[in-house]
């Protein structure tokens, strides 16, 4: 697991906890923290995906 994927997992867990706590305690700030953490997780996942998709090096000769 890469650092970006690990960070994304932590952000998702944090977002879920903030959402539940904000919903049960009716604290609007925690709901906004949940939205922010979900956004951070999405960015981390997108970066992890784009870095895992390394460009394919061509050998110079086409396959026939």
pLDDT digits 0-9 by tens, 37-46: 999 999 988 8
Decide if 28 is inside a domain.
Answer: yes
pLDDT at 28 over 70: yes
Give Cα 52 distance to the centre of its chain. Answer: 14
- Read off the pLDDT band of 7 (50, 70, 90): confident
What is the spatial distance between Cα 64 and Cα 52, in angstroms, rounded to a whole number?
28
pLDDT at 64 over 60: no
Q: Would you say 30 and 22 are in contact if contact means Cβ atoms under 8 Å apart?
A: yes
pLDDT at 19 over 60: yes
Decide if 62 is inside a domain.
Answer: no
Give Cα 55 distance to the centre of its chain. Answer: 22
pLDDT at 20 over 90: yes
Domain, as residue range, for 11? 3-52
Decide if 31 is inside a domain.
Answer: yes
Give CA separation, 52 vs 2, 19, 29, 45, in Å.
10, 30, 35, 11
- Read off the pLDDT band of 50 (50, 70, 90): confident
């Amino acid at each position: 697991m890469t650092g970006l994927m690990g960070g994304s997992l932590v952000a998702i867990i944090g977002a879920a906890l903030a959402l539940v706590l904000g919903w049960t305690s009716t604290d609007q700030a925690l709901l906004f923290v949940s939205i922010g953490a979900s956004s951070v997780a999405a960015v981390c996942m997108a970066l992890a995906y784009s870095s895992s998709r390394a460009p394919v090096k061509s050998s110079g000769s086409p396959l026939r």
